[in-house]
Amino acid sequence: MALPSNGKEILAVTGQAIQEPAAPILVEQPDPTTNHGRHQFFRTTLFQLLVVGSCAFCAPGIWSAMNGLGVGGSQSPNLVNAANALLYAFMTVTCFAGPWLTNAIGFRWTLAVGSLGYPLYAAGLYVNNRTGATWFVYFGAVACGISAGFFWSVEGAIATGYPEHHKRGRYLATWFTFRNFGNVIGGAVSLGINHKVNHKGKVGYQTYLAFIAIQCLGFFLGLLLSNPEKVQRDDGTRIEAPRNIHWRTELEHMWRLIRSKPILLLTPLFWYFGWIQAYPGTYLATYFTVRSRALGSFMSAVVGTLATWLAGTLVDLPWHKSRKTRAVTTYVLIALLNSATWIWAVYIQNEYRHTKPTLDWGNHKSFGRGFGLYLFERISLGMVENYIYWCIGNLSDSPGDQIRYSSLLRGIETAGVAVGFGVQAVPTALIATASINFALWFLALPFSYYATLQVVRKFNKLQEKRGSGVVETDRAVPEVKE
């Protein structure tokens, strides 16, 4: 069934016409006019992923590189933790508002505009490094929080909704690699500048100038993205994104997903993933020298990339014919790794609260124990992140729902991050934070296990629909009676 080009009417699965389509959604349908042999490269899904990956490298990737230095490379953990709490508070709101902005201005402009706040955040840290002024740090945090929420919601929807079904797992891992590559480059630049600074303190101001220059490229790279209706898939399917949808209808769709069993079961894991992100950077800034923090920023990206590919490979490659077995095996590995990491963290923090060490790679014995914990925290984070996106990527074939799932994930996650950074800004003893991380992880364990089973069941149902030729589209949301 063809979709009218003006987007005023769509045909639901029931075959009935529905006026005013239900959301700023993507609808996948075969395009009989597509010439499979003559695709323009800049319209292919591969090129779109390279664009969103490049933007992720320039914007959140470099931002992560700064925070991988330990609280943005600053000498004062409390200042940057407070700024990050403010950033994520604004980001929580704009993550949930992502589908509305995308509906209004399209995927391309949402991605580009979403990158604008990142260089302002880095500029605030630069000004603080040079003059000690704090107001620009908070201004940059607010600007970054507003734009980054839109960026996070749309980049996830592009990465999960644009690719063909048979490429989705590999493209997700590629997107994460671009994100982590920001940490690789940023960490390498910082390590080259600060490799002789073997004491605690702040990083050199030249570090921020390099970061700002890279982040400014994000806006222009975002403009290279094609809006979904122009994307050419190699399987002949096309993507449509109806625009100018009523906000109330979109709210109904969001409410439908919020109440769904998989999202309710995954919410504790979303919150855990957000909450713990404040801890590794604060830990690094508290105990490690400047050059060791730069090394940590670089190595966290390397091990994080390997972790995301490991998780993605285990769950996607057909090493076992049962998808349920692959999913549960991957989940058990993630559970064991995270459990061991937080037990180790509580043990180490209990020791460090008495000894208060200054750790540098020149002292190999004491450095290795503490630095190893930091790397395992990053590995655990990387595997959890890949698992979360694998879950939401398999809950629907409608990329319209993908942007909603992405917005829900990012919104809950950023709320957790905001609270986590707020707690660290008080400041709070790291032994207390590590203990809370430990408790939250074991709280999320049973819920996320049952979520894994729910996701596999949903995926199997979608497979049956694909085999029968049924195309999943967004439909009008029926009124729910209490």
SS3 content of the chain, % helix, strand, coil (to 5): 75, 5, 25
Q: Tell me how many domains the chain contains.
A: 1
Residue 227: both structure tokens together? 């809006």
Q: Tell whether 305 is covered by a domain.
A: yes
Residue 41 has what pLDDT?
87
Residue 314 has what pLDDT?
83
Q: Tell whether 480 is covered by a domain.
A: no
Residue 264 has what pLDDT?
92
DSSP string, 269-305: HHHHHHHTTHHHHHHHHHHB-HHHHHHHHHHHHHHHH
Residue 5 has what pLDDT?
41
Which residue from 464, 301, 323, 316 is spatially nearest to 374, judged by alpha carbons?
301
Read off the CATH number of the domain in which 237 is found. Answer: 1.20.1250.20
Which residue from 424, 418, 406 is spatially nearest to 87, judged by alpha carbons?
418
Segment 199-203 long-range contacts (CB within 8 Å, at least 24 positions apart): 199/289, 199/290, 199/358, 200/75, 200/288, 200/289, 200/290, 200/358, 201/75, 201/290, 202/73, 202/74, 202/75, 202/129, 202/290, 203/69, 203/73, 203/129, 203/290, 203/293, 203/294
Q: Tell whether 27 is covered by a domain.
A: no
Domain range spanning residue 60? 34-467
Residue 140 has what pLDDT?
94
Residue 51 has what pLDDT?
95
User: Which residues have a Cβ under 8 Å from the Cβ of 145 and sit 6 or more positions away?
Assistant: 86, 87, 88, 89, 90, 91, 94, 117
Q: Tell whether 8 is covered by a domain.
A: no
Residue 427, preceding peptide bond in cis (omega within 30° of 0): yes
Residue 235 has what pLDDT?
73
Q: Tell whether 96 is covered by a domain.
A: yes
Q: Tell whether 24 is covered by a domain.
A: no
Q: Tell whether 12 is covered by a domain.
A: no
Low-confidence ranges of the chain (pLDDT < 50): 1-28, 30-36, 70-71, 73, 470-482
Q: How, if at all, do strands 17-19 and 27-30 pair?
A: unpaired
Q: Tell whether 161 is covered by a domain.
A: yes
The beta-strand segments (E) located in 23-82 are 27-30
